Amino acid sequence: MAKFNLNVWSILSVLLIVAAVVFYLLWGIFFDGWNMFAKEYMGVYAITITLLLFGIFGFLLAKKKGEEPAGKK
């Protein structure tokens, strides 16, 4: 089982991932903007990808920061 160290950074990262998914879904529902290749929706995808990548990388960094080096006990 994976051990997750919940700290402020990992919670913030999960919130960013959730915000990206919710933003994308709500935008698609309200404005019927599901065509990824339409020029007028590029900003939506830019915001979604930015939130998602910050969330993923932040979560990975928070997980890496919480790990103990292999040589130290």
Residue 54 clears pLDDT 90, i.e. is over it: yes
Q: How far is CA 61 from CA 5, 35, 58, 64, in A?
A: 11, 33, 5, 5
Cα(65)–Cα(48) distance, integer angstroms:
25
pTM above 0.85, yes or no: no
Task: Please list, in sequence order, all residues whose beta carbon lies within 8 angstroms of the beta carbon of residue 48, skipping any fewer than 6 positions away.
Answer: 20, 23, 24
More confident: 21 or 36: 21
In this predicted structure, the answer to whether residue 16 has a pLDDT above a threshold of 90 is yes
pLDDT per position as a tens digit, 17-27? 999 999 999 98
- Which pLDDT belongs to residue 72? 60
Residue 69 is predicted with a pLDDT of 63
Average pLDDT score over residue span 7-23: 92
